[in-house]
Structure 1
Amino acid sequence: MGPLEQVFSDLVRAQIELWNAVDARLRRDHGFGAATFEPLRVIAERGGCRVGDIADDLVITVGGASKLVDRLESSGLCLRRANPEDRRSSLIGLTTAGEGALAAATDTLRDELSTRLLGPLGDRRLDALGDTLSILRRSHSTTGQTAAPRPERTTP
């Protein structure tokens, strides 16, 4: 295997292993996994977002994002309301239960990521990895948009 193939293999497998570990921890501690956490985070960050915004942020289809929102809404974690600027779409917001679930799960996520990323890498390497991944995301964006600049990391 050449160096490019090795980087690809390591990157994909590291992502899968990290996702699985975070997912298992969230399920154990909060009763929902990363596939619930991620859209909750997007909804909270965007404030009044649409299904298409979730799809763009999570790099999934609009249909997949719509199904995620359906599940979140049926779980009482979010609500859809009419979009006053576009009758064809809805705005999505977190419920009080959704805000609480996200806040608690965010603390758990930070703890797990600190163990799995910050612990082995340290501050400098983690910052370098974050910068590298931001460059890759901006250069390979599938939505036609450039990824947002990486926010400053705060130590948990």
Structure 2
Amino acid sequence: MGGISLGTAVSRMPGLEPAEACAWESFIDATLRVYGSLNRTLSEQHRLTLLDVRLLEILCNSQTGSARMGDLAEQLVSLPSRVTRQIRRLEEAGLVHREASPEDGRGVLATITDRGRDAFSEAIATYAEAVRQRFLSPLSRAQVSAMGENCRRISTGLRSNGNGKAARA
């Protein structure tokens, strides 16, 4: 990180007690490392990013194989402009296509193609194995459950509050 120790930067965060700073530092370090590792693996083996796989998963799991661009941005917790660029890349690769929404001509739908479904099927197996190796394997079953519950509480609080401040769950 440009010669700056993450531990030094976090420990000086105003208002955080040492245990809180340590927990945050560990969380953000693990998150960035797991994300980077998964992203590299998927890019090298499938020419897809982690967010590409997540987007294809959303489309595969939808009843119609389609989703409105705004809904994709919301589900990916991303900016609409980023999702538009991502869809454009996937469209150039033949994995999705865009079309005007039949219900609302102003809306745009992204739809997964057969080629996109095939790419997703291959990539999701790599993704699942990488998650098992890099995220789950260092943890006991109890730790996995606790991690899942803690992340659920954080996400629920952020979703329900809408302002980025987690409510107690």
Query: When the two structures are superposed, what TM-score results if normalisation uses the length of structure 1?
Result: 0.85
**Which ranges in structure 2 are unaligned for 5 or more consecutive residues?**
1-10, 12-17, 164-169
Residue 69 (structure 1) aligned with residue 87 (structure 2): yes
Report the RMSD for the aligned CA atoms in angstroms: 1.9
Please state how far the C-alpha of 1:31 moved relative to its aligned partner: 2.1
Cα distance 1:39–1:130, how it changes in 2: closer, same or farther (>3 A)? same
SS of 1:81's partner is: strand
* 1:1-156 equivalence runs, <5 A: 1=11, 2-46=18-62, 47-141=65-159, 144=162
**Which ranges in structure 1 are unaligned for 5 or more consecutive residues?**
146-156
Identity across aligned pairs (percent)?
24
**Bigger radius of gyration, 1 or 2?**
2
User: Letter of the aligned partner of 2:154 in structure 1?
Assistant: L
Distance of 1:129 and 1:95 partners within structure 2: 35
User: Letter of the aligned partner of 2:77 in structure 1?
Assistant: V
8 Å contact from structure 2 (residues 51, 76) kept in 1: no
8 Å contact from structure 1 (residues 22, 112) kept in 2: yes
User: Letter of the aligned partner of 2:99 in structure 1?
Assistant: R
Structure with greater contact order relative to length (CA < 8 Å, sep ≥ 6):
1
Distance of 2:45 and 2:93 partners within structure 1: 17
Report how many residues are paired: 145
SS of 1:93's partner is: strand
